[in-house]
């Protein structure tokens, strides 16, 4: 009896601690599930079941394959950047790092948790230098955001007149989506190319936080930030003249994003629908990504579902739109949880060969 009460009390304590620690993630996922659930129920559960049961499974499998290829190319591009510094790097380790990034991007606001966890994985478990690991992730983030912005601008050029004609106040969505992505890209470029400006801004933020009494020791924080900036700049110089590798990275990232943006089209085809333009649906998918990627909730919850419903109502039928949104969210968002958790649950062997490769690369660089 007492043992049961103790277990219940302990379980309640740990549950409260878990909820408190992950409240934003839980709220984001709940919002996403509620929005999707609302649209699905409004369609009618019987109609939803009938629609899903009549799917073309081959087309649905291609949609899932597109998401896997998105992950694979994320790993390939990241691997190219790491191999530029550490030549003996194993692709399996990079794939693990990439999937950890997918998981933590999915569960954190602004997809902000993936990069720190990737740096942690590369430094703690793979033995990489912290500055070089940070430089790899920062340069990868810069290239990825550049490609997202290119896709967004291309979508405007190609599909703006079509969407503006069919969606009221579409120009506002365009300004918000593309504008926020351009601002984010500018910040990343500034971090990579303008250390003085970065230092000035960071010092200004530290002073503001100090005046608000959020920081108790501003000088200590300033020293830590400066140390990290030095490490980042030292690692970033390794990519200054690697033009071929960076161009290849851009091309592969554009292909990677194309696979992601094609997922809704193959879901559309899985409902045995035809006639919609694949280019317009790709443009719509790029719009959805641009609008939802910078919403301060995990996975852009709420905004992702809402923008999908708004844009893809132009392509799906009324009977298939809610089911299509559900499948799209499962493939592009919830599947990241599964892939990331599998990557993290793989038993980590002692990475002696990985760390030997890192040490060998360091010796080669020192000798050079």
pLDDT digits (tens, 9 = 90+) for 249-305: 999 999 999 999 999 999 999 999 999 999 999 999 998 888 776 666 655 565 677
CA distances from 123 to 132, 140, 152 (A): 9, 16, 34
Q: Are 80 and 86 in contact (CB under 8 A)?
A: no
More confident residue, 244 or 350: 244
| pLDDT given for residue 20 in this prediction | 46
Nearest Cα residue to 85 out of 120, 40, 130: 130
Distance, in Å, from the CA atom of 54 to the CA atom of 63, rounded to the nearest integer, reads 16
Band of pLDDT at residue 316, cut at 50, 70 and 90: very high
User: Comparing 156 with 52, which gets the higher pLDDT?
Assistant: 156
Here the tokens at position 49 are 């079941």
Distance CA 286, CA 148 (A): 8
Give the CB-side neighbour count of residue 146, counting CA atoms within 13 A: 17
Show the CA angle centred on residue 115, arms to residues 262 and 284, nearest 5°: 20
Structure tokens at 125: 């478990």
What is the pTM (predicted TM-score) of this model?
A: 0.79
Band of residue 145 on the pLDDT scale cut at 50, 70, 90: confident
pLDDT tens sequence across 72-126: 999 999 999 998 888 888 898 999 999 999 888 877 776 667 788 888 888 888 8
Token duo for residue 293? 């990627």
Q: Which of 55, 144, 58, 131 has the alpha carbon at shortest distance from 98?
A: 144
- Give domain limits for the chain: 43-84+130-339
Q: What is the DSSP letter of 332?
A: I
């Amino acid at each position: 009896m007492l043992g049961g009460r103790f277990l219940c009390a302990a379980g309640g304590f740990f549950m409260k601690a878990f909820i408190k620690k992950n409240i934003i993630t839980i709220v984001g996922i709940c919002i996403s599930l509620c929005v999707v659930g609302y649209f699905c129920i409004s369609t009618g559960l019987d109609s939803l079941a009938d629609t899903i049961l009549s799917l073309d499974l081959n087309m649905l499998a291609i949609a899932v394959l597109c998401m896997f290829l998105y992950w694979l190319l994320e790993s390939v591009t990241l691997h190219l950047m790491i191999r530029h510094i550490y030549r003996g790097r194993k692709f399996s380790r990079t794939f693990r790092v990439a999937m950890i990034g997918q998981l933590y991007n999915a569960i954190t606001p602004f997809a902000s948790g993936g990069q720190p966890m990737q740096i942690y994985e590369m430094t703690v478990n793979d033995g990489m230098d912290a500055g070089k690991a940070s430089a790899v992730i920062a340069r990868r983030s810069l290239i990825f955001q550049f490609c997202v912005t290119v896709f967004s601008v291309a979508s405007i050029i190609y599909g703006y007149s079509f969407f503006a004609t069919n969606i009221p106040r579409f120009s506002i969505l365009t300004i918000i989506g593309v504008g926020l992505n351009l601002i984010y890209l500018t910040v990343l470029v500034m971090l990579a190319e303008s250390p003085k400006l970065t230092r000035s801004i960071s010092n200004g933020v530290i002073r503001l936080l100090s005046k608000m009494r959020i920081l108790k020791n501003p000088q200590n924080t300033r020293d830590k930030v400066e140390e990290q900036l030095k490490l980042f700049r030292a690692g970033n110089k390794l990519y200054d003249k690697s033009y071929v590798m960076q161009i290849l990275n851009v091309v592969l990232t554009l292909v990677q994003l194309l696979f992601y943006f094609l997922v809704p089209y193959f879901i559309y085809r899985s409902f045995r629908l035809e006639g919609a333009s694949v280019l317009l649906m790709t443009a719509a998918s790029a719009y959805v990504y641009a609008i939802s990627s910078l919403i301060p909730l995990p996975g852009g919850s709420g905004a992702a579902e809402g923008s999908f419903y708004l844009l893809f109502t132009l392509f799906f039928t009324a009977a298939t739109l809610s089911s299509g949104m559900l499948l799209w969210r499962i493939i592009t968002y919830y599947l990241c949880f599964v892939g990331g958790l599998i990557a993290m649950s793989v038993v980590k062997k002692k990475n002696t060969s990985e760390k030997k490769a890192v040490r060998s690369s360091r010796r080669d660089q020192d000798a050079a």
